[in-house]
């Protein structure tokens, strides 16, 4: 059995894959599931010796992430997004950890989020704990929501080194993802039978956005990250309002 499988899903991620895949040579295998890309993503994956699969671009990303996990042959699995990077120190930390006898079935690590070229150290953006490394057969996604976490059967440990994350290179890119996630959230609320009301209007348009912004920008000192910190805190708060307006739009049709 292989020691480690890295699993990735992607949709039109040729720029990220071009940079990411050559850095994963230390893994025993890389599984790439393409979700209907129209760019060179599949070609780049093939050139980098990935085991490549194709699936429809499901809005719930965790359905295709689960499919990728099922294809892995490694004793351990590390699932990775195309806009993330595993620096050398983390790669060594991973390999050392899985080669040592231990009771843990999964490991948490810290993630550094970079917005528009800046690492956000404040505003609840760091350490942004992620559960990514786990023993095959001991982790799964419920596949109910795009932001759900892995569910682990067993003890969880911690890795020492950080994962790097570059989700937003430009404001236009951020707004495109913002539109995607708020639409998914609105659909999720709609299918749960949540209906607009004056109480929910106050909650989603006033209470939740205000509380989120105050907490992240002031109490968690997001202001120390410059204009990028302001942008992150502001749009994180606006997420509640936009998803609610989209819910109202769906409910009125």
136 and 193: one domain? no
Contact 82, 17 (CB under 8 A): yes
Ranges in the chain, pLDDT < 50? none
210 and 239: one domain? yes
Strand 74-79 with 29-34, pairing: unpaired
149 closest CA partner among 61, 253, 220? 61
Query: Order of strands across the sheet with 29-34?
Result: 51-54, 29-34, 2-10, 74-79, 130-135, 106-109, 156-158
137 and 42: one domain? yes
Q: How many residues can be counted in the chain? A: 253
In the prediction, which pLDDT does 143 show? 84
Neighbours of 147 (CB within 10 A): 10
136 and 27: one domain? yes
Contact 139, 104 (CB under 8 A): no
Q: What whole-number distance in Å separates Cα of residue 109 and Cα of residue 79?
A: 12
121 within some domain: no
178 within some domain: yes
47 and 84: one domain? yes
139 and 182: one domain? no
In the prediction, which pLDDT does 147 show? 79
Domain containing residue 14:
2-109+128-161
End-to-end CA distance of the chain: 53
Instruction: Check the CA dihedral 149-153-156-161 and report its sign.
Output: negative
Q: Model's pTM, two decimal places?
A: 0.94
Cα 83 to Cα 80, 111, 211, distances in angstroms: 8, 12, 29
Q: Encoding tokens for residue 143?
A: 């596949």
176 and 214: one domain? yes
In the prediction, which pLDDT does 236 show? 97
Q: For 10-40, how does the pLDDT look when each residue is reduced to its tens digit (9 = 90+)?
A: 999 999 999 999 999 999 999 999 999 999 9
149 and 204: one domain? no
151 within some domain: yes
187 and 100: one domain? no
In the prediction, which pLDDT does 1 show? 63
138 and 62: one domain? yes
72 and 179: one domain? no
- CATH number reported for the structural domain that contains residue 92 in this entry: 3.90.550.10
Number of domains composing the chain? 2
Helix runs in the chain, H state only: 14-20, 41-47, 61-71, 88-99, 171-191, 198-202, 208-213, 226-252
122 within some domain: no
Contact 247, 182 (CB under 8 A): no
Buried b (16+ CB within 10 A) or exposed e, 84-111: bbbeeebbebbbebbeeeeebbbbbbbb
């Amino acid at each position: 059995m292989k020691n480690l499988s890295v699993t990735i899903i992607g949709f039109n991620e040729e720029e990220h894959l071009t940079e990411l895949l050559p850095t994963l040579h230390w893994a025993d295998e890389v599984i790439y599931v393409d979700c209907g890309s129209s760019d060179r993503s599949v070609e780049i994956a093939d050139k980098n010796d990935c085991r490549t699969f194709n699936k429809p671009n499901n809005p719930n990303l965790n359905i295709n992430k689960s499919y990728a996990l099922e294809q892995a042959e490694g004793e351990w699995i590390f699932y990775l997004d195309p806009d993330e990077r595993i620096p050398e120190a983390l790669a060594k930390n991973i390999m050392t950890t899985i080669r040592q006898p231990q009771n843990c079935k999964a490991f948490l690590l810290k993630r550094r989020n970079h917005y528009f070229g800046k690492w956000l150290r404040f505003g609840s953006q760091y350490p942004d704990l992620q559960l990514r490394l786990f023993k095959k057969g001991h982790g799964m996604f419920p596949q109910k929501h795009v932001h759900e976490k892995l569910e682990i059967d067993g003890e969880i440990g911690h890795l020492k080194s950080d994962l790097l994350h570059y989700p937003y290179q430009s404001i236009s890119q951020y707004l495109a993802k913002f539109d995607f996630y708020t639409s998914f959230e609105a659909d999720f609320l709609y299918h749960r039978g949540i209906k607009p009301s004056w109480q929910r209007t106050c909650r989603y348009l006033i209470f939740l956005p205000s509380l989120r912004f105050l907490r992240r920008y002031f109490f968690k000192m997001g202001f120390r990250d410059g204009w990028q910190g302001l942008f992150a805190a502001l749009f994180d708060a606006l997420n509640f309002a936009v998803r609610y307006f989209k819910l109202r739009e769906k409910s009125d049709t």
